Structure 1
Amino acid sequence: MKIHRTTILEDSYRRIIAVKRADFLKARLWIEFDGEKGLDYGGVAREWFFLLSKEMFNPYYGLFEYSATDNYTLQINPNSGLCNEDHLSYFKFIGRVAGMAVYHGKLLDAFFIRPFYKMMLQKPITLHDMESVDSEYYNSLRWILENDPAELDLRFIVDEELFGQGFFELIPQDLIKIFDENELEVRTEVLFPTGSNGPQLFTVEQWGTPEKLPRAHTCFNRLDLPPYDSFEDLWDKLLLAIENTQGFDGVD
């Protein structure tokens, strides 16, 4: 897939949602960023998953929202249809991307509420699960259970959910049922952070001149360091490279 960085969400959505057979998404990935020279031997795809996940799960688009507990744990926005009339199609796209990330061993930059993982495992949601999502709402429900709510004139509505069908196109449900929700959350957070086969050794080689920034070869785990005059210069150049540069130039 050839993707523009500035329109990574729209480009990726059009390409992935157009795939008729989900099995095709298990094929060898080859990602190209428009205008960049990087050859995808793993590093470009990792960059694509990372950047795409930051867009997919951005609450600005209205598909997800932060839980009431904190400002980094995500949950599905119940009003997503008001923000995006194609929200169901986008959720199918996101489910496919999540399945691709697990299948191809890549990292997604997102943290979900614990019941989210239980729903992926098709485990029943209990009242206790609500405590980690919205403690105030949880306390209200507990009060209703323990007291007579007749004077509150409450009404109850039951919704039918079709959760997880985009994801299960690529990852069979029986393969993740060996995990509980806690293990599933950890698996999606920390597995594959350094390479497609897990943590790997890497080499450091001298390269370039002191005014150059360090560069990384993600496809064969090598870090090129220029001969800096001091540790302080090394520290400053590393921070500059990490925090202010992006993209691929040549084999990566």
Structure 2
Amino acid sequence: MWIFLSDNISAEECLDKKTVYENYCNMWLLDFPQIHPVNLFADTEANLPTGWDTKKDRNSKAPIPPPRPTPPGSSPCNSVEIPVAYNDKVVAFLRQPNIFDILKERHPPIGTSTSLREKVNAIRVDGTSALDRLSQDLNLTILLSLFEQEIMSYVPAAVPSSATTSVRSGSPQQSSPGLSRLRASGPSHRRDFEAKLRSFYRKLESKGYGQGPGKFRLHIRRDRLLEDAFRRIMAASRKELQKGKLCVLWDGEEGLDYGGPSREFFFLLSRELFNPYYGLFEYSANDTYTVQISPMSAFVDNYQEWFRFSGRVLGLALVHQYLLDAFFTRPFYKALLRLPVALSDLESLDFEFHQSLQWIKENDVSNQGELELTFSVTEEVFGQVLERELKPGGRNVPVTEKNKKEYLERIVRWRLERGVAEQTECLVRGFYEVVDPRLVSVFDARELELVMAGTAEIDLVDWRQNTEYRGGYHDQHQVVIWFWQAIERFSNEQRLRLLQFVTGTSSIPYEGFAALRGSIGPRKFCIEKWGKPNSLPRAHTCFNRLDLPPYPTSEVLHEKLLLAVEETNTFGIE
């Protein structure tokens, strides 16, 4: 290095005058190709030669190298960037200096498994590309599952900016109806959620949920749906609910349960059970269709068992991966997860009350003598106005700036739980009789909502892009073109009815149509050429398949499709 500098007299004189350039020049010289090979052989841990001491300025301070310019579009290599994608989190976690000691504490076999250590080292060196390559490795999957909580919460001290790029981004993101609820937090949240969901279902499978060998049979009469379902599900043991392989048989119908009858069962049952008409639930607001537990449900006969039954139904739908035709409020899902409610949860339920509390939160209540707030509220019960204390002796405790936070927490909880605390507890108890609370704790309320209810929005572009064709049909076939023209003419309600006719449910998974499920796993919407021009369309709900005859005109197709969707109410395999 010094030989290189000595060739330039001006540089050497400058170096003698300003010792700060010593470190600075060293940094720049590393970029020269003719010097780089020498650096490769340097022993970075050995002591410096005699006389190569750290230089001090006249104030006895070691100079700090000035920052090098950062190329446009990049960030300094020592900037702290917290990885957000799941794959990046795994890589960052495994790149800890003492990672093998950490892994060995919980997974001793890694100390003797050379193969597993090599795989971990490959991920440490190659990053997400190696993780993607090894994604099907069973031993590695088991190892990572043991540290899932640590991986999701790990924050490295410093992460190279390049480490936050995931190789699993795939093709450009397409618009998907289920993703509309995730866009607020961006694609990274979606990837983390998908990783959580995969891990959740892997754990369910490993613990034997819904795997048998015994079957949990439900023999249901259509005209006695609620009655039959309540009797059978409430008579089942915890083991039968958790382990039994679900089999739904509709009385008097020939359909075999390869998935279609079960999907239809949860669709129809949820439509009745959570219907405000029956008194257990109510609409949350005048302008929405989300439902919540009704305070008036306490007057329904045997209401505790009905809510326990409701919880079991939710648990069974979650375990067997069936969507419900019901959308609940965000606090409802928080109650299922036993998460605390927040002031923001009130905004969509009681806007005026939320605004009042928001004002209290943002303003000093100490100087608002006319408010005279105390830890108590008034509520009307059967025409009588009663005072309820938010805590013992609350009517005599004034609200101040010091205790305002506690007041807001208590009054929000009162507003969301008033008259339904017992019912909520019964429902949650039934839910956890089917699902281990530790398994669902990985989700937040929004994520659980997406898993259980999907979305009711229809994205025609997403639907068409994720449709398969058989029997001679293809995307540009004239009958297929007429089919999509008919769908465009349909109202959203008619589209949902068609979807329910073909798949057994009108709900769409959070990922969109690409994630529709069939009898043995994911199965896309399918249109197959079948029958004669005078036949009605036929559905195979177990396989998400629509048998569509080759109709002669678009009007005939539109008429036959509407007739099949609006008049048919049986689901079977023909």
Length-normalised TM-score, structure 2: 0.40
Select which of 167, 186, 193 maps to 2:431.
Answer: 167
Amino acid at match of 2:389: F
Secondary structure of 1:138's aligned partner: helix
How many positions carry a matched residue from both structures?
249
CA contact (8 A) 2:518 2:543 kept: no
- 1:155 matched to 2:478: no
Task: State percent identity of aligned pairs.
Answer: 50
Tell me the residue number matched to 1:7. Answer: 224
Tell me the residue number matched to 1:75. Answer: 292
Change (3 A) 1:72 1:210: same
Secondary structure of 2:527's aligned partner: strand
Select which of 208, 212, 215 maps to 2:535.
Answer: 212
Change (3 A) 1:174 1:197: farther
Change (3 A) 1:193 1:81: farther
Amino acid at match of 2:355: N
Shift of residue 141, structure 1, vs aligned partner:
4.3
Select which of 134, 138, 161 maps to 2:354.
Answer: 138
Structure 1 spans left out of the alignment, 5+ residues: none
Shift of residue 44, structure 1, vs aligned partner:
0.6
CA contact (8 A) 2:284 2:349 kept: yes
Change (3 A) 1:182 1:34: same
Please give the per-residue CA displacement for 1:164-194, whole angstroms capped at 9, x wherever unaligned.
1111111111222211111111222223654
Secondary structure of 1:40's aligned partner: coil
Greater Cα shift, 152-161 or 233-242: 152-161
Tell me the residue number matched to 1:116. Answer: 332
Tell me the residue number matched to 1:126. Answer: 342
Select which of 168, 173, 176 maps to 2:440.
Answer: 176
Change (3 A) 1:137 1:200: same
Q: Distance in 2 between the 1:46 and 1:184 partners?
A: 19
Q: Distance in 1 between the 2:353 and 2:281 partners?
A: 19
Tell me the residue number matched to 2:213. Answer: none
Q: How does 1:17-96 map to 2 (within 5 A)?
A: 17-19=234-236, 21-26=237-242, 27-68=244-285, 70-82=287-299, 84-96=300-312
Q: Distance in 1 between the 2:319 and 2:519 partners?
A: 10
Secondary structure of 1:111's aligned partner: coil
Secondary structure of 2:240's aligned partner: helix
CA contact (8 A) 2:523 2:543 kept: no
Secondary structure of 2:254's aligned partner: coil
Secondary structure of 1:132's aligned partner: coil
Amino acid at match of 1:195: G
Structure 1 consecutive aligned stretches of length 4 or more whose deviation exceeds 4 Å:
140-146, 157-161, 196-199
Q: Distance in 1 between the 2:263 and 2:533 partners?
A: 29
CA contact (8 A) 1:114 1:132 kept: no
Select which of 451, 455, 463 maps to 1:187.
Answer: 451
Shift of residue 218, structure 1, vs aligned partner:
2.3
Q: Distance in 1 between the 2:559 and 2:329 partners?
A: 37
Greater Cα shift, 226-235 or 135-144: 135-144
Give the greater-gyration-radius structure (CA): 2
Greater Cα shift, 101-110 or 234-243: 234-243
Q: Distance in 2 between the 1:24 and 1:138 partners?
A: 43
Change (3 A) 1:93 1:4: same
Amino acid at match of 1:86: N
Secondary structure of 2:561's aligned partner: helix
CA contact (8 A) 1:206 1:224 kept: yes
Q: Which has the higher contact order (CA 8 A, sep 6+)?
A: 1
Q: Distance in 1 between the 2:437 and 2:335 partners?
A: 11
Q: Distance in 2 between the 1:77 and 1:203 partners?
A: 40
Please give the per-residue CA displacement for 1:101-157, whole angstroms capped at 9, x wherever unaligned.
01011111011111111111211112332222111232344567743236x875325
Q: Distance in 1 between the 2:441 and 2:326 partners?
A: 21
Q: Which has the higher helix share?
A: 2
Q: Distance in 1 between the 2:388 and 2:245 partners?
A: 51
Q: How does 1:190-201 map to 2 (within 5 A)?
A: 190=454, 191=509, 193-195=516-518, 199-201=522-524
Amino acid at match of 2:388: R
Q: Distance in 1 between the 2:525 and 2:294 partners?
A: 41
Select which of 554, 568, 571 maps to 1:231.
Answer: 554
Amino acid at match of 1:65: E
